[in-house]
Amino acid sequence: MLSVVGKVYRVSGPVVEAEDVKSLRMLDMVEVGQEHLVGEVVRLKAERAYIQVYEDTTTLKAGDLIYTEGYPLYVELGPGLLGNFYDGIQRPLETIKEKDGFFIRRGVHIPALDRNKKWHFKPIVGKDAAVKGGQIIGEVFETALIIHKIMLFPELQGKISWIAPEGDYTLDEKIAVVENGQKYDVFMYQRWPVRKSRPTRNRLAINEPLITGQRVIDTLFPVGKGGCVAVPGGFGTGKTVIQHQLAKWSDAQIVIYVGCGERGNEMTDILLNFPKLIDPRTKRPLMERTIFIANTSNMPVAAREASIYTGITLAEYYRDMGYHVALMADSTSRWAEALRELSGRLEEMPLEEGFPAYLSSRLAEFYERAGNFKTLNGDSGSITVIASVSPPGGDFSEPVTSHTKRFIRCFWALDRDLANARHYPSISWIDSYSEYLEDIKGWWHSNISPNWLAFRYRIMELLQKEQRLLQVIKLVGPDVLPQRQRLVIEICSIFKNTFLQQSAFDDIDTFSSARKQFLLLTNILNFYDRCDELIKKGLNISEIKSTSAYQEIMRMRHKYSENNLEELEKLSRTIDESLKELEL
């Protein structure tokens, strides 16, 4: 029920100052003016309220009425989320597109979840069962990939006094009644305030990698399921391509993609391309596990501020069902800029580079919501956050990058020189790091090879050695280097060309399984060891480079698809044999 709670006194961009305010609370969601523009109370003072409005405010005028239902900004959680495109406050873009063209007409109120669609509900608890918050009471096949668990609202408990028999229901139809002195009707969807994290039992240790299919990531700087990564990089260094690659190929069960303040055509690109993509693991359309939230640079700034909270709340909901969720946010710098603009309009005291003092605590609150958790129903589920950061001028010491670094444990630093040299992904092997290696090595060791971590350290050591050798070359030229050291440089160059570089646009190269990555690395290290022996016996680099073994190594990443990894495994032996001939 909407009631009038004040009127417009002053409008400053997305911020509305209200007067004659009564019975409003902080963070209440309100509707402003004749068009009922959606907004949220961000400051209260005597009879005044400051409201950030999620839509263009240009037609508002002093005296316009302000209404509320008395709820905080919430999202709807239930079957039908997957495959959807939403704006920052969960208004469905597709539906709106059909009605109004590409842009959202102001003040449109379309429910986030389709009320007409029927879902096949299967109860899994019986009448009289004692039930607790978060407990799964039924299931719905949301897509061919995902069983949607219908969970009791986290704060509800009691006894099931009625439950619907298996059958088809719309979201407006009641599917259970819970009694605990009072009677509660239960539906297949629930509402949850976006700024409040959904409760869990406890945090669990991270112990499994998120396999992204991107070699430099999985092998050198892996992230664990439930971890947080920042991807900082200047304009054009490849942040968006990395985020798209992860949305496509990572082995999360659910993907939430938040396009935050970036160019509109990138979201259009997703809109056109994503529906065609097939998951290599499940052979099903990737849309069946994905939700998009778009608040591009041409859309209202306040909704951009809200979009990452909307995204992470959806992520928590699927985590509560026991799924591994990955959330991509591109870019958190644009989010922070929205925060800065709103703070400026509220005439708050700016701190570093105009950002408000609470930038850091807001970032902390957001990253806190990632993790591997034991859910209320005793299952486990995780949220991995991959956040791109676009520091102005590529300067990583600016506030958003430096505060973000305090809350993440994995850092994929994009390097301008690599991008200029068209070495993609331009993730620097010098400036990047991952603190998840120890957490996830067990997975690699039992699923791929007990040598994984040792091999990974070995190649990193070679890369660091190369770095020093390149310094020497700068000073005294390449000629003084002994052959064995030149070999290090040669192997690193092979590793960069055949392993670290990975084309997002090549059908075979776009995704490498963990096994393929390990085999490529093994072959390169094996090649190095054999060549090193030969050099010790007096051969030189140019003789090695003229062998067919060298050609084979250079070709292997494109030549062997996921279907003929057996062949790739045999390559080491072929190489050994062909190098042996050099000894004769």
Q: Which stretch binds ligand ADP (CB under 6 A): 106-114, 127-135, 236-244, 362-370?
A: 236-244
**Contact, 367 vs 408, CB < 8 A?**
yes
Q: Which of 279, 239, 548 is nearest to 388 (CA)?
A: 239
Question: Concatenated DSSP letters for 356-386?
Answer: BTTHHHHHHHHHHT-EEEE-TTS-EEEEEEE
CB 523, min distance to ligand ADP, A:
22
Say whether 161 sits in a helix, a strand or coil: strand
Residue 54 binds what, of ligand ADP, Mg ion, none (CB under 5 to 8 Å, by partner type)?
none
Q: Which of 440, 451, 565, 456 is nearest to 515 (CA)?
A: 565
- Could you tell me if 30 and 37 are in contact, meaning their C-beta atoms sit under 8 angstroms apart? no
Whose Cβ is closer to ligand ADP: residue 227's or residue 425's?
A: 425
> How many other CB atoms are found less than 10 A from the CB of residue 72?
17
**SS3 label, residue 460:** helix
Q: Is the dihedral of CA 510, 515, 516, 522 positive or negative?
A: positive
Determine contact, residues 141/118, Cβ cutoff 8 Å. no
Q: Are 220 and 294 in contact (CB under 8 A)?
A: no
Binding to ligand ADP by residue 394, rule CB under 6 A? Answer: no
- Amino acid in the structure at residue 3: S
Q: In this structure, is the dihedral angle defined by the CA atoms of residues 489, 494, 497 and 500, taken in order, positive or negative?
A: negative
Q: Does residue 4 contact residue 66 with C-beta atoms inside 8 Å?
A: yes
Q: Do 35 and 98 meet the contact criterion of CB atoms below 8 Å apart?
A: no
Closest distance of CB 517 from ligand ADP, Å: 15
Q: Does 508 bind ligand ADP (CB under 6 A)?
A: no
Q: Give me the count of residues in the chain.
A: 584
Q: Which stretch binds Mg ion (CB under 5 A): 64-72, 231-239, 290-298, 458-466?
A: 231-239
Map residues 417-446 to x or -, x wherever contact with ligand ADP holds by CB under 6 A.
-------xx---------------------
Q: How far is the CB of 12 from ligand ADP (least distance, A)?
A: 31
Nearer to ligand ADP, 235 or 457 (CB): 235
- Per rule CB under 6 A, is residue 392 in the interface with ligand ADP? no
What is d(CA 90, CA 293) in angstroms, rounded to the nearest whole number? 7
Q: Does 204 bind ligand ADP (CB under 6 A)?
A: no
Among 224, 233, 300, 322, binds ligand ADP (CB under 6 A): 233
The correct pick among 240, 332, 343, 428 for binding Mg ion (CB under 5 A) is 240
- Using CB distances below 5 to 8 A depending on partner kind, what does residue 238 bind out of Mg ion, ligand ADP, none? ligand ADP
Among 52, 240, 250, 253, binds ligand ADP (CB under 6 A): 240
Which stretch in 51-59, 191-199, 204-212, 240-248 sits in contact with Mg ion by CB under 5 A?
A: 240-248
CA distance 331 to 401: 11
Q: Which is nearer to ligand ADP, 451 or 510 (CB)?
A: 510
The site that binds ligand ADP (CB under 6 A) totals a number of residues, namely 14
Residue closer to ligand ADP, measured from CB, 294 or 571: 294
User: Considering the rule CB under 5 A, would residue 245 count as an interface residue with Mg ion?
Assistant: no
505 binds ligand ADP per the rule CB under 6 A: yes
| 507 interacts with ligand ADP by CB under 6 A | no
Residue closer to Mg ion, measured from CB, 36 or 423? 423
Quick one: which of 68, 474, 510 has its CA closest to 249?
A: 510
Q: Does 403 bind ligand ADP (CB under 6 A)?
A: no
Q: How far is the CB of 418 from ligand ADP (least distance, A)?
A: 10
From the centroid of its chain, how far is CA 47?
41
307 binds Mg ion (CB under 5 A): no
The least CB distance from residue 420 to Mg ion, in Å, is 16
Which 169-188 residues touch Mg ion, going by CB under 5 A? Answer: none
**Going by C-beta distance under 8 Å and a sequence separation of 6 or more, which residues neighbour residue 313?**
75, 77, 192, 194, 198
Least spacing, CB of residue 307 vs ligand ADP, in Å: 17
Residue 257 or 550 with smaller CB distance to ligand ADP: 257
SS3 labels along 71-107? EECEEEECCCCCCCEECCCCCEHHHHHHHHCCCCCCC
Stretch that binds ligand ADP, among 170-178, 221-229, 497-505, 541-549 (CB under 6 A): 497-505
Catalog residues that contact ligand ADP under the rule CB under 6 A.
233, 235-241, 424-425, 502-505
Catalog residues that contact Mg ion under the rule CB under 5 A.
239-240
